[in-house]
Amino acid sequence: MILSFQEKGNSALTLSNYGWLFSHFRFQESLINTISITVLALLFELVLALSIALVLAGAGRKRIIQALILIPLGIPTIVVASNMRYLFDTNGFFNQILSRLNLISVPIDWLGGGVLTLFSIVLSDMWKVTPLMMLILLAGLERIPKELVEAARIDGSSSWQELRFIILPLMKPFITMALIIRGIDTFRIFELPLALAGQAFPVLSSFAFFEFRNFNNPNTAAASSTVLFIMIFAAILLYIKLTGSGKETTV
Amino acid sequence: MNRIIFLLISLIFLTSCSAPKESTLKVSMSLSDEEWRVVKEEIIPKFEHRNHCRIETLQIEAGDLPQILKSQSMAGKMEIDVFAQDNMQLSILVEEDLVENLSGYRGMIPKETEQSLISAGEFNRKLYFLPFRPNVQIVYYNEDAFKKYALNVPRNWDELIRVAAVFKQREGVGRILFKAWGNGPTVTQLYEFIVSAGGDPFTFNDPGCLRTFDFLKKLWPYVSPDSTKAKWNTSNDYIARESVYLMQNWPFGINVIIEDYKKTNIKTYHGFAGPKGEAHVIGGDVLGIPKGSKNKALALKFIEYLQSREAQKILLEKLSWPSIRTDVYSTVSGWRAPYFRAVKEAMRYGVFRKNVTYWADFERYMNEAFTRIVIKGEPLKQVLDHYAEEMKKVANKKK
């Protein structure tokens, strides 16, 4: 952090690095991209993870299915990114399937930047890390007393009402934990966007990396890392404040 | 019993005294896994055997070497005896007085070595670095695709844009690759284009630079969408998987595309000329000895060995590394021969990038200029004038 307030070769404190960062087009892009990935990824992952957890909660042979679902977690992120390139490349499987179905005549550039790349990265991230969120939410679901749900059913509540008035409120601490853990991870996403889209879709981590590694500027790298840290911290505080620190809710 | 113990101890003592102590030579390079495999299995053992020594290899990236040498030098504990370093990252080693002056060893350079490669290791008329592996980009193209549309390979910029437009029109997508991933891959290409337009890349806004960026703006709509992800390794995949039909890359692609992917329809030639001629950046590595090296004599012997016909031939055949020696190319036979003719031709148009301590800043500005002008479509003159000013400030600060 101290480095971020100093210029290269000068120990005097200054805000010039931050001024430079926020006026630099690449940093602005990285910031927007990072926030976009985080918001979308968390939303989609939460919905998907909760859906899978709800299905698994009532399923038999749970352990075997859980083990299978957890497999993507064990795959290194860079391997996932390399494989996803085979899907999303202009000559990749997606374009080939779409072409054979006559849905496209010209390959779609999934990884050239923009909204398509955003969704490609979010989908790739979802594939790998949704199981972790699912695991946390499943643990939460298993803690919900069955009697509550049964009582609600006897009183004539629908599945949606059960979910909305019983399950979700009781799941609050687990949803909070899942979102915070995944949120921290998603904010600092690095390998996936770099390997998939390179500088066509910069994020804060890759921006800091290039500042340090390629442009030999540890001070601006430190400044962008500090910005990232502040964002993560602020997001966690805001979330906890809005949701009431994730304490269990009485139903 | 005591006698037996005494005899055993004497035996051990005599054995350790009589066995010659092997020196260890510590060699630093920045290589890929496949490159290290060839160096460790085919180059190093011969030298170790002939010189009764052991070589310890160190993987140190070009960007990290100066700092590591500086730290070890300040600590008075140099742990590296000889290094191979990117020919673009040499000036800082000389300025910080980290390397030995090798002017006295000029005579050990093989007479078959290209003179320009020797000059690249000189600073202030002193020889600090010895030639090792030059590198030059060549053009790879898909012969079948060109035949399909009755096209000839482009020999100049006008033909390049025409060929790009034909492919885009006929196939609906660009098939010419321009390495636009950023950093080194993009800047090297830009450097070549600017020099071949008669410009000095460090000025940013001389007529050659303006002409280059204007041309690239016109070319951009016709290039492959894979260009934004294209760098030195991914480019080989794109042409091998036929998502592009023409690209420039280093000769290591020959092994990947033709030998590994078995794409014998991918051919090569030296390249195309700009308005002021043809220019190809000569990259690659040179060899140096850090000050404080504990094994200078052995290091020099190792350098001599690496420059020998024997070693250079292995590196050329196994890794497709262009050679410093003109006599090695004649030994290339079989399927490699036509590809290395292209390399040898491209070397004729070789240019060295200016070795400056502010290369990182130059690289950043050149990348940003390219992104803003060519990809985002910002006004050419305005952007280039801006970076011209920034570059002047940096150059003046470093003086």
pLDDT at B10: 72
pLDDT at B16: 54
* Amino acid present at B37: R
Say yes or no for a CB contact (<8 Å) between A106 and B173. Answer: yes
Phi first, then psi: what are they for B283, rounded to 5°? -100, -150
User: Considering B336, B351, B366, which residue would you say is the last residue of a domain?
Assistant: B351
* Spatial separation of the C-alpha atoms in residues B355 and B348, rounded to whole Å: 20
Question: Tokens 């008669």 belong to which residue?
Answer: B198
Q: Is residue B4 part of a domain?
A: no
Q: Which of A109, A198, A213 sits opposite B182 (nearest CB)?
A: A198
Q: What is the pLDDT of residues A109-125, one digit of tens each?
A: 999 889 999 999 999 99
Chain A hits for B183, Cβ within 8 Å: 199, 210, 214
How is chain A split into domains, by residue range? 16-243
A-chain residue closest to B367, CA distance: A199
* Amino acid present at A30: S
* Amino acid present at B201: P
Model confidence at A221, pLDDT cuts 50, 70, 90, reads very high
Say yes or no for a CB contact (<8 Å) between A90 and B231. Answer: no
Q: Is B368 on the interface with A (CB under 8 A)?
A: yes
Instruction: Compute the count of residue pairs across chains A and B with CB atoms less than 8 Å apart.
Output: 59
- CATH at B52: 3.40.190.10
Chain A hits for B229, Cβ within 8 Å: 111-112, 197-198, 200
Is the pLDDT at A178 greater than 50? The verdict is yes
Say yes or no for a CB contact (<8 Å) between B360 and A215. Answer: yes
Residues B173 and B268 placed together within one structural domain of the fold: yes
Residues B227 and B126 placed together within one structural domain of the fold: no
Count of beta carbons in the 10 Å neighbourhood of residue B84: 24
Record the pTM: 0.85
Q: Find how far residue B379's CA is from the centre of its chain.
A: 33
Task: List residues bridging with B141 in a β-sheet.
Answer: B246, B267
* Spatial separation of the C-alpha atoms in residues B169 and B163, rounded to whole Å: 10
Say which residues have a Cβ less than 8 Å from residue B39's Cβ, sequence separation at least 6. Answer: B29, B31, B57
Q: How far apart are the first and last CA of chain A?
A: 44
Q: Is B397 on the interface with A (CB under 8 A)?
A: no
Q: How far apart are the first and last CA of chain B?
A: 77
What superfamily does domain A16-243 belong to in CATH? MetI-like (1.10.3720.10)
pLDDT at A235: 84
Question: Tokens 């927007």 belong to which residue?
Answer: A32
3-state secondary structure of A170: helix
Q: What is the pLDDT of residues B70-108, one digit of tens each?
A: 999 999 999 999 999 999 889 889 988 999 999 999 999
Residues B127 and B186 placed together within one structural domain of the fold: no
Say yes or no for a CB contact (<8 Å) between A215 and B242. Answer: no
Q: Is residue B8 part of a domain?
A: no
Say which residues have a Cβ less than 8 Å from residue B87's Cβ, sequence separation at least 6. Answer: B120, B129, B282, B283, B284, B285, B286, B352, B355
* Spatial separation of the C-alpha atoms in residues B103 and B114, rounded to whole Å: 17
Q: Is A86 on the interface with B (CB under 8 A)?
A: no
* Spatial separation of the C-alpha atoms in residues A154 and A82, rounded to whole Å: 51
3-state secondary structure of B140: strand
Is the pLDDT at A69 greater than 60? The verdict is yes
The range of the structural domain enclosing residue B182 comes to 138-281+354-398
* Spatial separation of the C-alpha atoms in residues B398 and A171, rounded to whole Å: 60
Q: Give the dihedral of Cα atoms B281, B282, B283, B289; nearest 10 deg.
A: -140
Chain B hits for A111, Cβ within 8 Å: 228-229
CA distance A197 to chain B (A): 6
Say yes or no for a CB contact (<8 Å) between B226 and A199. Answer: no
Q: Is residue B5 part of a domain?
A: no
pLDDT at A251: 47
Model confidence at A61, pLDDT cuts 50, 70, 90, reads low
Residue B224 tokens read as 């492959």
Q: Is residue B6 part of a domain?
A: no
- Note down pLDDT in tens along chain B; length 399 residues: 778 777 777 776 665 555 456 789 999 999 988 899 999 999 999 999 999 999 999 999 988 899 899 999 999 999 999 999 999 889 889 988 999 999 999 999 999 998 888 988 999 889 999 999 999 999 999 999 999 999 999 999 999 999 999 999 999 999 999 999 998 899 999 999 999 999 999 999 999 999 999 999 999 999 999 999 999 888 999 999 999 999 999 998 988 898 889 999 999 999 999 999 999 999 999 999 999 999 999 999 999 999 999 999 999 988 888 899 988 887 777 888 889 889 989 988 999 888 888 888 999 999 999 999 999 999 999 999 999 999 999 998 876
Phi first, then psi: what are they for B277, rounded to 5°? 120, -175
pLDDT at B252: 87
